[in-house]
Amino acid sequence: MLETIQSLSNEVFDDVVQLRRRIHKNPELAFEEHDTAALVQNTLEPLNLDLRTGIAETGLIATLEGGRPGPTLMLRADMDALPIREETALEFASENDGAMHACGHDAHTSSLLGTAMILSRIRDDLHGTVRFLFQPSEEKLPGGASVMIDEGALHGNGQPAPDTIFGQHVQPELESGHIGVCGGMYMASADEVYVTVRGEGGHAAGPHQLEADATLAAAHVLTALQSVISRNCPPDVPSVLSFGKLTADGATNVIPETARLEGTFRALDEDWRFRAHDLIERVATRTAQAYGAEADVNITVGYPALYNHPDPTERVREAALEYVGKERVVDLDPWFGGEDFAFYLQELPGSFYRIGTRNEAAGITHGLHTPQFTIDEEALRTAPGFMAYLTWRCGANGT
């Protein structure tokens, strides 16, 4: 079956590349992926799958029943683009000004379509059921994954929940066609922290006449908050609190009434994460009080930390060793990006792995979320077939 799937992956390669280019040329932002969803639907229709559309606005789920009994697997791709102006000069560069597939979701969607093409051709030999899930809005809170789950993507329509879910993401730091795997806590929770400090505005020459200087209090709040990670976070829990925006819109001679801090809090532990929220609030409000000011803390709860379950992650590793060979399988360290696939992994066992898209000789080295980002399309020779093989193999092994 390995060779069959590899040759089918070669057969669908041109189609997958064309799909990727069409999606790339017409990037659509979160929850607006109407053309992309239509393209997905049109591509799936000839494959004779059971199709549900319009989940979470533009999401789709296609179900393929294999010819043999076995588990139900779910495979996920995200479809949305980013609000970035593309600077790649590719012939299929974005035609939607200000929108760009700068995170590879064009590759994820086209690759999963390729996987569906491959698996539908070996349907009779497939053990179990495969659900292909195309989701909107990975990039924007609350995340298309959470909305799809709320709308019954996993348990709805009277269907049993899938046994396992897999997802993949391109990685421009990894050589094209390599597969990156990390078990356990792999990606961070990502929450936005907003602190508004209120004092009294007035002439900068007379601070002693004011109740409180919000700017000074905000400076102390910023410094004091550094103790949350250094003094309260367990030393074995990776965690970061960064403030990238500090505004106090007065002037050289004007003390403003308010000052504002905006930052991100990320962690690889869900218990610590919510404990830290309380500490951030306590330290900010009480520090501001010490300077006669008041602080309001607002934390926008983002995606949870992403936990790759051990058994499904081992399946990915084993399948990758067989499919691409051990010199192309890479053990990854955890990283602090956020990813809404984490919501599925709170509901189901599964694993999220990476597919390398770097090609230094071709100058394809730019990072995710940059205007120059692109992928080495040769990775699309590996990605759809690998996911198909992983799926077939899990079914055959009863996982």
Q: For Ni ion, give the closer residue by CB, 103 or 187.
A: 103
The question of whether 333 is a catalytic residue gets the answer: no
Stretch that binds Ni ion, among 103-111, 173-181, 242-250, 270-278 (CB under 5 A): 103-111
Which residue's entry shows tokens 């189901």? Answer: 348
- Comparison of 103 and 190: residue with beta carbon closer to Ni ion: 103
Chain-centroid distance of CA 275 in Å reads 24
Give whichever of 80 and 269 is closer to Ni ion, judged by the CB atom.
80
Beta strands in the chain (DSSP E): 50-55, 59-65, 68-78, 127-135, 164-175, 179-181, 184-187, 189-198, 202-203, 239-247, 254-255, 258-267, 294-300, 306-308, 329-331, 350-358
Q: How many residues bind Ni ion (CB under 5 A)?
A: 1
Residue with tokens 């084993």: 318
Minimum gap (Å) between residue 102 Cβ and Ni ion: 9
Token digits for 222?
């910023």
Query: Does 29 contact Ni ion by CB under 5 A?
Result: no
Smallest distance from Ni ion to CB 171, Å: 10
Stretch that binds Ni ion, among 25-33, 96-104, 217-225, 324-332 (CB under 5 A): 96-104
CB of 103 to Ni ion, least distance (A): 3
At its nearest, how many Å lie between Ni ion and the CB of residue 104? 6
Is the bond preceding 142 in cis, omega lying within 30 degrees of 0?
yes
| Catalytic residue chosen out of the listed positions 28, 33, 78, 80 | 80
**Which of 104, 128 has the CB closer to Ni ion?**
104
Residues 6+ apart with CB under 8 A from 286: none
Any contact of residue 103 with Ni ion (CB under 5 A)? yes
Stretch that binds Ni ion, among 39-47, 101-109, 231-239, 388-396 (CB under 5 A): 101-109
CA distances from 152 to 46, 158, 255 (A): 25, 9, 52
Angle between helices 379-396 and 2-25 (to 10 degrees): 130
Contact 196, 295 (CB under 8 A): yes
Terminal Cα distance for the chain, rounded: 17
Q: Which is nearer to Ni ion, 103 or 217 (CB)?
A: 103
CB of 364 to Ni ion, least distance (A): 17
| Of residues 255-284, those binding Ni ion (CB under 5 A) | none
Helices 379-396 and 310-324 pack at an angle, to 10 degrees, of: 120
Residues near 124 by Cβ (< 8 Å), separated by ≥ 6?
A: 66, 67, 68
Q: Could you give the string, one character per residue 293-312, with x where binding to Ni ion holds by CB under 5 A and - elsewhere?
A: --------------------
Provide the minimum distance between the beta carbon of 30 and Ni ion in the complex, in angstroms, as a whole number: 11
80 is catalytic: yes
Residue 195's identity, in one-letter code, is V
Minimum CB distance to Ni ion smaller for 153 or for 170: 170
Which among 100-108, 228-236, 240-248, 290-298 is the span making contact with Ni ion, rule CB under 5 A?
Answer: 100-108
Stretch that binds Ni ion, among 98-106, 251-259, 287-295, 370-378 (CB under 5 A): 98-106
> Of 32, 78, 86, 138, which residue is the catalytic one?
138
Contact residues for Ni ion (CB under 5 A)?
103
Residues with a catalytic annotation lie at 80, 138
